[in-house]
């Protein structure tokens, strides 16, 4: 199918529903001209159109500038479905439930850290296991796991692995209501128990950064971000537990008479939200999300320990405080204004970040007057960003923004194009120290296998969805 794309703004393109009778609504993609040229070469636009065919969709099927091909939904996709008449789709959340980002600030400058940077990275690499099948240093039993699935970060606070401030600065306060551990399979549990507190593989990473530039001083001050200071960014999710939850429910939906089967792509198999199987999936998905929040929090705890051990400084001098921890693979029940009416919807964000501006009741108390931090990782050779949502995000994208740079090359293409030795050498020339679980992942995650995050962020800023707060550059990287 030849896809018709119409430019309707400086950073906005429409895929009109008139080009395919199955589409119930338009597709909208936010990008600049350069990014759209490459997006057109990717089947993700067809996936935006496919999502627009699903029952109960409210508003357009949306793609962010970091959009690329995914399972069912594109990665970088957003779609909202009517709470009473719409669906939930595991493919619209993704296999890595609550894959997300945590940002830690510090009181250190690069001059403070540089003499011991390699030691700190090496110690983090030791304390935070990474790679496929990695096992964590935190020993938990089945009762602990059950509590994690039900309580989220509250479990970590009670165990001394998180502070009250950490909880205050985690999306949903680190605990998704409606989580139901009873609907998480024993296989998912068995995969999760040894992996808690681990980074994982693929595009998951832990990065020591320096705040290169602050563009919005007032908001940066409220976030605790200061130019020239060291920050730490963590990108991972619910590991094998979340993957197994997705696998279990996709299999069940493919076998269930309650599933919505009249879809253009089998990977979009869904269930009406009010059905029993949909509610069971929602309970399991929220439980997996709680696991993801705790997984990142235990990594935060290990990072703090690594800095204390190597820098020989007390916690109060290091200032390793959370800025925010958020999910970018999730489905959430929210209220939005649509065509002048307040509508209750289930918003799927797959490779997309909630970007609620000031005033939304969902914002944590710490950020109610500013809007919450929107954390956008780039690649290990360039930059990452902190943004804040604008009121335009509510009218344009159900309060959503991009989630990262977005892949441009497949992993196999990246591996054949960028030998690990070349990547490591180029990073060294930039003053970036890398520890990776394998040479293969170094090639797969080569910087130029990703889109230019500067262009991605400029696109959501230009579209009036988010405002740029600060730009962070990497100096030390741990890759799964």
Q: Per-residue DSSP letters for 323-385?
A: EEEEESEEEEEEEEEETTEEEEEEEEEES-EE---TT-TTS-GGGTTT--EEEE---TTS-EE
**205 is an annotated ligand-binding site residue:** yes
User: Which of the following is catalytic: 243, 348, 372, 403?
Assistant: 403
What was the pLDDT predicted at 437?
83
pTM of the model: 0.97
**Torsion, CA 249, CA 253, CA 258, CA 259, rounded to 10:** 120
Q: CB count, 10 Å around CB of 96?
A: 25
Contact between 460 and 30 under an 8 Å Cβ cutoff? The reply is yes
Instruction: Give the percent of the chain with pLDDT over 90.
Output: 89
**207 is an annotated ligand-binding site residue:** yes
**311 is an annotated ligand-binding site residue:** no
What was the pLDDT predicted at 40?
94
Contact between 319 and 105 under an 8 Å Cβ cutoff? The reply is yes
**462 is an annotated ligand-binding site residue:** no
Residue closest to 159 by CA, chosen among 297, 290, 287, 291: 297
pLDDT digits (tens, 9 = 90+) for 366-379: 999 999 999 999 99
pLDDT digits (tens, 9 = 90+) for 279-297: 999 999 999 999 999 999 9
pLDDT digits (tens, 9 = 90+) for 211-260: 999 999 999 999 999 999 999 999 999 999 999 999 999 999 999 988 99
Contact between 401 and 355 under an 8 Å Cβ cutoff? The reply is yes
- Please state the φ and ψ torsions of residue 29, each to the nearest 5 degrees: -125, 130
Q: Is the pLDDT of residue 137 over 90?
A: no
What was the pLDDT predicted at 182?
98
The rounded distance, in Å, linking the Cα atoms of 252 and 276 is: 12
Contact between 385 and 468 under an 8 Å Cβ cutoff? The reply is yes
**204 is an annotated ligand-binding site residue:** yes
**379 is an annotated ligand-binding site residue:** yes
- Using DSSP bridges, classify how beta strands 341-350 and 329-338 pair: parallel, antiparallel or unpaired: antiparallel
Instruction: Determine whether 243 is an active site residue.
Output: no
**336 is an annotated ligand-binding site residue:** no
**183 is an annotated ligand-binding site residue:** no
What was the pLDDT predicted at 451?
94
Q: CB count, 10 Å around CB of 480?
A: 24
Contact between 37 and 463 under an 8 Å Cβ cutoff? The reply is no
What's the CATH number for 6-408+450-479? Answer: 3.90.1860.10
**76 is an annotated ligand-binding site residue:** no
pLDDT (average), residues 187-195: 97
pLDDT (average), residues 170-187: 98
Contact between 328 and 293 under an 8 Å Cβ cutoff? The reply is no
**328 is an annotated ligand-binding site residue:** yes
């Amino acid at each position: 199918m030849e896809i018709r794309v119409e430019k309707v703004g400086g950073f906005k393109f429409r895929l009109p529903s008139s080009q395919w009778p199955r589409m119930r609504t338009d597709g909208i993609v936010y990008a600049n001209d350069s990014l759209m040229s490459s997006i057109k070469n990717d089947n993700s636009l067809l996936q935006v159109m496919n999502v627009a065919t699903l029952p109960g969709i409210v508003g357009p099927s949306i793609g962010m500038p970091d959009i690329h091909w995914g399972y069912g939904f594109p990665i970088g996709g957003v779609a909202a479905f009517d709470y009473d008449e719409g669906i939930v789709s595991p493919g619209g959340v993704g296999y890595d439930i609550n894959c997300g980002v945590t940002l830690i600030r510090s009181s250190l400058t690069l001059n403070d850290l540089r003499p011991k940077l390699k030691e700190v990275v090496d110690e983090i690499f030791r304390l935070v296991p990474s790679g496929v099948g990695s096992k964590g240093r935190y020993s938990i039993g089945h009762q602990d796991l059950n509590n994690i699935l039900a309580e989220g970060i509250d479990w970590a606070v009670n165990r001394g692995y998180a502070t009250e401030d950490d909880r205050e600065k985690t999306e949903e306060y680190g605990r998704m209501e409606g989580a139901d551990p009873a609907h998480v399979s024993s296989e998912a549990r068995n995969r999760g128990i040894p992996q808690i507190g681990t980074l994982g593989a693929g595009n998951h990473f832990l990065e020591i950064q320096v705040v290169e530039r602050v563009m919005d001083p007032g908001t940066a001050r409220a976030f605790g971000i200061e130019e020239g200071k060291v920050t730490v960014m963590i990108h991972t999710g619910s590991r094998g537990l979340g993957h197994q939850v997705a696998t279990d429910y996709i299999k069940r939906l493919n076998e269930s008479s309650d599933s919505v089967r009249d879809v253009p792509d089998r990977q979009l198999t869904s269930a009406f939200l009010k059905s029993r199987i949909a509610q069971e999936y929602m309970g399991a998905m929220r439980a997996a999300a709680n696991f993801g929040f705790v997984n990142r929090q235990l990594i935060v705890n290990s990072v703090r320990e690594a800095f204390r051990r190597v820098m020989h400084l007390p916690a109060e001098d290091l200032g390793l405080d959370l800025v925010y921890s958020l999910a970018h693979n999730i489905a959430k029940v929210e209220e939005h204004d649509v065509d002048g009416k307040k509508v209750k919807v289930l918003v799927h964000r797959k490779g997309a970040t909630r970007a609620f501006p000031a005033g939304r009741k969902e914002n944590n108390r710490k950020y109610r007057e500013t809007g919450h931090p929107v954390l956008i990782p780039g690649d290990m050779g360039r930059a990452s960003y902190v943004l804040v949502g604008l009121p335009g995000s509510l009218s344009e994208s159900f309060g959503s923004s991009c989630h990262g740079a977005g892949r441009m090359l497949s992993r196999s293409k990246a591996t054949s194009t960028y030998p690990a030795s070349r990547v490591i050498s180029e990073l060294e020339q930039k003053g970036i120290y890398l520890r990776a679980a394998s040479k293969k992942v170094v090639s797969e995650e080569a910087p130029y296998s990703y889109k230019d995050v500067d262009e991605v962020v400029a696109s959501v800023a230009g579209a009036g969805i988010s405002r740029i707060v600060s730009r962070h550059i990497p100096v030390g990287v741990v890759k799964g």
